Amino acid sequence: MVRLQPFLESWQAARRDAATAVTDMPEADLDFRPTPELMPFREIAVHVLNAGHGLVSLLLDGVDNIATPDFRDRLRAHSIDTAGLTGAELAARMNETLTSDLAALSGRDSAFFGGVITKFDGTSVTRLEMLQFVKEHELTHRSQLFLYLRLKGIVPPTTRRRLAKK
């Protein structure tokens, strides 16, 4: 059995670390990409923000099938405008948005989380399983942000915390 509150708290902690990575990257390097075919650092952070918020919003709106041709349009309808934001402003928006989304999720009952939806790949999952997928997706991109920091000689926040305990 998955307990909701610890799950939401761990997601919040992961997002805080991703947002901290954004503030750790020098402003001049926010558009850094290791190779031309990879997303720039800023674009990854914006993707974390908008994918997470969009998917949570769809679930909160009661959408039970995201395997539809208009999925990306419906997701885009929940996009947050990040044009012109500094790294600190983007990081703040990442944290604020997830805090708000998690508060909204905390108000839902167990029937909501146990409800079955169709994921974009056509598989059936509970809403809680979909949220777990969203968190795992975010962790993947958090790792990318950390790698980009390392390529710039910056120690990621999780490593700094571990080293501080020694």
Among candidates 94, 71, 80, which has minimal Cα distance to 11?
94
Geometric angle at alpha carbon 139, from 156 and 130, rounded to 5° = 165
Complete domains list, the chain, with CATH: 4-165 (1.20.120.450)
- Name the token pair of 163: 């080293």
pTM: 0.95
Amino acid at 13: A
Integer Cα distance of 46 and 31 in angstroms: 12
Residues in Cβ contact with 48 at an 8 Å cutoff, skipping those fewer than 6 apart: 15, 18, 94, 138, 141, 142, 145
- Name the token pair of 3: 């307990």
The pLDDT profile of the chain, 166 residues, written as one tens digit per residue, is 678 899 999 999 999 999 999 999 999 999 999 999 999 999 999 999 999 999 999 999 999 999 999 999 999 999 999 999 999 999 999 999 999 999 999 999 999 999 999 999 999 999 999 999 999 999 999 999 999 999 999 999 999 988 898 8
Integer Cα distance of 117 and 105 in angstroms: 16
